Structure 1
Amino acid sequence: MHFLHGLAIPEGPNAGRQLELAPFQRDFVNGALADGITTAILSIGRGNAKTALSAGLALGALVGVLDPQPRREILIAARTRDQARVAWDFVAGFSDSLPLEIQRRLIFRRAPRLEIEYEGDGGGHVLRALAADGKSALGSAPTLVLMDERGHWALDRGDELEAALLSGLGKRGGRGLIISTSAPDDTHPFSKWIDEPVPGSYVQEHRPAPGLPADDLDSLIIANPGAQHGIGSSLEWLQGQAGRAIARGGSALTTFRLYNRNERVSGETRDLLLTVDEWLACEVSNPPPREGEVVIGIDLGGSASMSAAAFYWPATGRLEARGTFPSMPSLLDRGQVDGVAGRYLEMQDRGELDTLGEKTVPVAPWLVETLRHVTDQTVAAVVADRFKQAELVEALNRAGIRAPMIWRGMGFRDGNEDAERFRRACFDGQVKAQASLLLRSAFADAVCLRDPANNIKIAKARSKGRIDAASATVLAVAEGARIAARPRKTVRATWA
């Protein structure tokens, strides 16, 4: 800590001033360098000097302040060489404030690779910048590794590099610093580091609760703790950017949430069925009553996937949704496999998700339970994917259920109409649902594929995503919109 406070800020409006660590930075330094810690993870909003702080630690490791062992090797890894150069430039800038006898022993190389060599303390100490290519780190034995913006590395090459770096750290008892804004989803390796910490790791995450308005001041402070200490963006600027992002919507709003609010939202904003804020606008604290006829949308899962049903009342706009998994494996184990940790158990506690059957969900009993949910309501139609028509008809006959069935395709022809009708209903305020973790999770994973004619159909954003509840909702709301648009027939009495 004394070494870091002796450095001068190399760039920005505070250039030339002595480095003074904010409380959250001191917490990270103390946690990362504590005894028994081999890997430190920091997740924080963009512009909070996480790269500069880590670069200061890397410089301390190079000159022997952090680790006195001979022939030290410090590696800075990023997605591209240009990104790695940002951290390398911070190290070079901080070195200007070192004592002259240390500066004279530093050699800077910019080609063919970005390197800084320190000839003091026996010599042979090197700091090197790498791009996210696992082969470039094979054979190394680093004493300190900095992985910059790990949440946005390419999955395949990024995983290779991380494995190569961490295996190299074990050779000499080195430490790893993994820093980034939030990854787009829970399945990313950076999210795994946070959600499933391994022994010997220190985790510091500055992420607000999901579902809050983008300009909420308290949550902006949580994601950007440096703003109160003159580090990075000011709170006024952040609130101004939040207002601009809300006004623009779409990708501008989701990008602000991902980078400035440090939320885990998908970066595939252009093709999302609904963005986070568009769906949150459909959630109400007091949903309208169950009045009029109800439309039931069904998405029948396969042997291992979720089966979901959505219930929509066109007269009031009320929407409900329920999901069902087989009981084996358990919801906790299934959540670990799907990369959502304990989310399924939380859905079950909220009454949005249950289990039925063992290895598969039995169709006929599940349909009985689905209709029992609206046993006192008049069912206008049950809408389902025609791809499962034979299986559903058999189950309906076996269960003795008599309800008007409508079969829809999930391809570009029917899917485009249903998706557009659903979007229009949401934008017009005709969909009102109570806060549902099941639906939030489903819409976060629901993206749209487009054909050459710009027609859309729903697909998963990730292979382990569960969009069954979103598909059932689209079917129910689209059919409800068609019912509401039909002219009502009136009977005119005449007297002879």
Structure 2
Amino acid sequence: MSGKQVIDFIESLKVPEGPRAGKQVKLAPFQKQFIRGAMAPKVLMGVLSVGRGNGKSTLTAGIALGSLLGVWDDQPRREILVAARTRDQAQIVFQYVAGLTTGLPEEQQEQLTFRRGQRLEIEYGDGHILRCISADPKNALGTSPTLAVMDERGHWPDDKGDALEAALLSGLGKRGGKCLMISTSAANDSHSFSQWLDNPPAGCYVQEHRPAPGIPADDVASIIEANPGAKHGIGSSIAWLVAQAQRSIARGGSALSTFRLYNRNERVSGERRDMLLSVDEWLDCEVSELPPREGACIVGIDLGGSASMSAAVFYWPNTHRLEAIGAFPCNPGLADRGVRDGVRDRYVEMQDRGELLTMGDKVVPAGQFLQAIMTHLDGAAAACFTADRYRQAEFIDAMNAASVRVPVVWRGMGWRDGAEDVERFRKSIFDGEVQSLPSLLLRSAFSDAVTIQDVSGNSKLAKARSAGRIDAAAAAILAVAEGARRKARPIAQSKVPQWA
């Protein structure tokens, strides 16, 4: 088998639907690149991640049909399985494969039998079968496929999807078959599809078209990066994608997160959640020169454990100045931790910028982190610390061990305190009362920070992805909200004594 055989076959077919229906299929360079890499002889697994509407159906259906016809595989009684999330989605793939067959020579078409009943099957010649199934492990029992294509693997349910994946991979081993995963990004880094992309084993070819996080949704270069087919007339045009990005920015909330997930191929939650802040709202807070450290400072602190980050945010309500630092334990190192969290070398870059510290072995020592906070204050007066009451006892012990004497305001992160703090924080942002230097630590935290609403419209902080590190965002909310409360309190007026 060679990539050229696959490319030549697919480009001999005709487009079954859409504006180019009836014309020859023309593969884009990124599609040819994937075919050459994934269909190489020694590659057993090919993984492609690209934005919605970039010809994934053409690749899936074309490769499956060519394998069924034996264009590059002469095994007897070939079995090709195309798995999708639901039966309806499997039927869409089936219809696309059936559409491609109309461009075949008549003698080949006569050997095809279509079954559209309980099973979606195409039989060719002497017992060669192409079957489209839903992501349910029972559908793969007893199979021994020569090719398995997992369509939109990033959106299969975790439990059934992983079980079906295991069943397909074990079946492929019986006949030396090949597996392809073609999908938009999963919503988080812990999903199995994300793990294939981030930690590919030997014999796995990976091609991912995903822009860096924290970029405005309507940035043209990153839209093109996630939609490489747009420049070649595949799917949506660049102008349409930019216009759609601007509409989603205007609507915000789940419209924006859905656009980022499907059209920008980013790993963000597509659930109906609102972003704490949009990228653009935070970028408006960044300045080239900070206002002075005047007045008392309020320090928001979020203590982390072995996996999470510890973070502190310093806020001067009088001048609106905001600074932030974070800390991770030394083991594992920042490079390894970045790979595990799906952010590559972002933590290393934060450390180089002086925004991220390392201390301790497996856990950041709370006392040492408090000492680092006092060092960062560099003599500036601290009006108070504000922290989550969930770890109150540990926090007090750390303050005593570090000999730190600062009043502490305890807040909850649930609906009662959390909803108030989120709204005060957002109001301060929108009123221009927060100013910060460009901070990769804060950009990263806000890009992963979403809010969940209850039936009364109260919002509390949550993660957009499981491996997201929103500790700096939580600390910023605590500090800025406390600053807003203190500014709103009336100043006691001293009365001039009068003679009766």
Give the TM-score, by structure 1 length: 0.92
Q: Which amino acid aligns with 1:3?
A: F
Instruction: Return the alpha-carbon distance in structure 1 between the equivalents of residues 364 and 234 of structure 2.
Output: 53
Instruction: Return the alpha-carbon distance in structure 2 between the equivalents of residues 465 and 131 of structure 1.
Output: 30
Question: Residues 446-470 of structure 1, C-alpha deviation per residue, up to 9 Å, x if partnerless?
Answer: 4434455443333445555433222
Aligned in 2, Cα 1:436/1:86: closer, same or farther, shift over 3 Å? farther
- Using the TM superposition, give the Cα deviation of residue 133 of structure 1 relative to its aligned residue in structure 2, in angstroms: 0.9
Instruction: Return the alpha-carbon distance in structure 2 between the equivalents of residues 251 and 449 of structure 1.
Output: 11
Instruction: Return the alpha-carbon distance in structure 2 between the equivalents of residues 387 and 28 of structure 1.
Output: 49
Instruction: Establish whether residue 44 from structure 1 lines up as the match of residue 47 from structure 2.
Output: no
Instruction: Return the alpha-carbon distance in structure 1 between the equivalents of residues 167 and 287 of structure 2.
Output: 48
What are the equivalent positions in structure 2 for 1:164-183 lying under 5 Å apart? Answer: 164-183=167-186
Query: Paired residue for 1:290?
Result: 293
Query: Paired residue for 2:67?
Result: 61
Decide which of 404, 418, 421 is 2:407's aligned counterpart.
404
What are the equivalent positions in structure 2 for 1:18-417 lying under 5 Å apart? Answer: 18-119=24-125, 123-302=126-305, 305-335=308-338, 338=341, 340-417=343-420
What are the equivalent positions in structure 2 for 1:443-462 lying under 5 Å apart? Answer: 443-461=446-464
Q: Secondary structure at the match of 1:433?
A: coil
Aligned in 2, Cα 1:287/1:105: closer, same or farther, shift over 3 Å? farther
Q: Which amino acid aligns with 1:254?
A: S
Count of residues in Structure 1 that have an aligned counterpart in Structure 2: 493
Question: Residues 226-262 of structure 1, C-alpha deviation per residue, up to 9 Å, x if partnerless?
Answer: 2222211112222221222222222222222221122
Instruction: Return the alpha-carbon distance in structure 2 between the equivalents of residues 179 and 117 of structure 1.
Output: 24
- Partners of 2:254 and 2:273 within 8 A in 1: yes
- Using the TM superposition, give the Cα deviation of residue 305 of structure 1 relative to its aligned residue in structure 2, in angstroms: 3.9
Aligned in 2, Cα 1:434/1:75: closer, same or farther, shift over 3 Å? farther
Instruction: Return the alpha-carbon distance in structure 1 between the equivalents of residues 50 and 241 of structure 2.
Output: 14
Instruction: Return the alpha-carbon distance in structure 2 between the equivalents of residues 358 and 28 of structure 1.
Output: 41
Question: Residues 109-142 of structure 1, C-alpha deviation per residue, up to 9 Å, x if partnerless?
Answer: 01111100001xxx11100011111221122111
- Partners of 1:181 and 1:259 within 8 A in 2: yes
Gaps of 5+ in 1: none
- Partners of 2:189 and 2:467 within 8 A in 1: no
Q: Which amino acid aligns with 1:42?
A: L
- Partners of 1:266 and 1:444 within 8 A in 2: no
Instruction: Return the alpha-carbon distance in structure 2 between the equivalents of residues 27 and 47 of structure 1.
Output: 18
Q: Secondary structure at the match of 2:312?
A: strand
Aligned in 2, Cα 1:204/1:393: closer, same or farther, shift over 3 Å? closer
Instruction: Return the alpha-carbon distance in structure 2 between the equivalents of residues 416 and 50 of structure 1.
Output: 42
Of 138-147 and 322-331, the range deviating more from structure 2: 322-331
Q: Secondary structure at the match of 1:357?
A: coil
Query: Paired residue for 1:486?
Result: 489
Instruction: Establish whether residue 429 from structure 1 lines up as the match of residue 432 from structure 2.
Output: yes
- Using the TM superposition, give the Cα deviation of residue 17 of structure 1 relative to its aligned residue in structure 2, in angstroms: 0.6
Q: Which amino acid aligns with 2:409?
A: I
Aligned in 2, Cα 1:80/1:280: closer, same or farther, shift over 3 Å? farther
Instruction: Return the alpha-carbon distance in structure 2 between the equivalents of residues 209 and 304 of structure 1.
Output: 23
Instruction: Return the alpha-carbon distance in structure 2 between the equivalents of residues 142 and 401 of structure 1.
Output: 65
Instruction: Give the alignment's Cα RMSD to 1 decimal.
Output: 2.5
Q: Which amino acid aligns with 1:168?
A: G
Instruction: Return the alpha-carbon distance in structure 1 between the equivalents of residues 336 and 355 of structure 2.
Output: 18
Aligned in 2, Cα 1:227/1:350: closer, same or farther, shift over 3 Å? same
Aligned in 2, Cα 1:350/1:193: closer, same or farther, shift over 3 Å? farther
Instruction: Return the alpha-carbon distance in structure 1 between the equivalents of residues 140 and 301 of structure 2.
Output: 50
- Using the TM superposition, give the Cα deviation of residue 385 of structure 1 relative to its aligned residue in structure 2, in angstroms: 2.1
Instruction: Return the alpha-carbon distance in structure 1 between the equivalents of residues 82 and 343 of structure 2.
Output: 30
Instruction: Return the alpha-carbon distance in structure 2 between the equivalents of residues 183 and 316 of structure 1.
Output: 41
- Using the TM superposition, give the Cα deviation of residue 144 of structure 1 relative to its aligned residue in structure 2, in angstroms: 1.0
- Partners of 1:254 and 1:275 within 8 A in 2: no
Give the TM-score, by structure 2 length: 0.91
- Using the TM superposition, give the Cα deviation of residue 396 of structure 1 relative to its aligned residue in structure 2, in angstroms: 2.4
Instruction: Establish whether residue 3 from structure 1 lines up as the match of residue 14 from structure 2.
Output: no
- Partners of 2:367 and 2:402 within 8 A in 1: yes
Instruction: Return the alpha-carbon distance in structure 1 between the equivalents of residues 216 and 317 of structure 2.
Output: 28
Gaps of 5+ in 2: 1-6
Instruction: Establish whether residue 471 from structure 1 lines up as the match of residue 474 from structure 2.
Output: yes
- Partners of 1:269 and 1:275 within 8 A in 2: no
Instruction: Return the alpha-carbon distance in structure 2 between the equivalents of residues 6 and 310 of structure 1.
Output: 60
Instruction: Return the alpha-carbon distance in structure 2 between the equivalents of residues 436 and 157 of structure 1.
Output: 40
Q: Secondary structure at the match of 1:432?
A: coil
Q: Which amino acid aligns with 1:13?
A: P
Q: Secondary structure at the match of 1:383?
A: strand
Of 74-83 and 322-331, the range deviating more from structure 2: 322-331
Query: Paired residue for 1:14?
Result: 20
Q: How many percent of aligned residue pairs carry the same amino acid?
A: 62
Q: Which amino acid aligns with 1:397?
A: N
Q: Which amino acid aligns with 1:246?
A: I
Instruction: Return the alpha-carbon distance in structure 2 between the equivalents of residues 186 and 463 of structure 1.
Output: 7
Aligned in 2, Cα 1:8/1:221: closer, same or farther, shift over 3 Å? same
Q: Which amino acid aligns with 1:311?
A: F
- Using the TM superposition, give the Cα deviation of residue 347 of structure 1 relative to its aligned residue in structure 2, in angstroms: 3.0
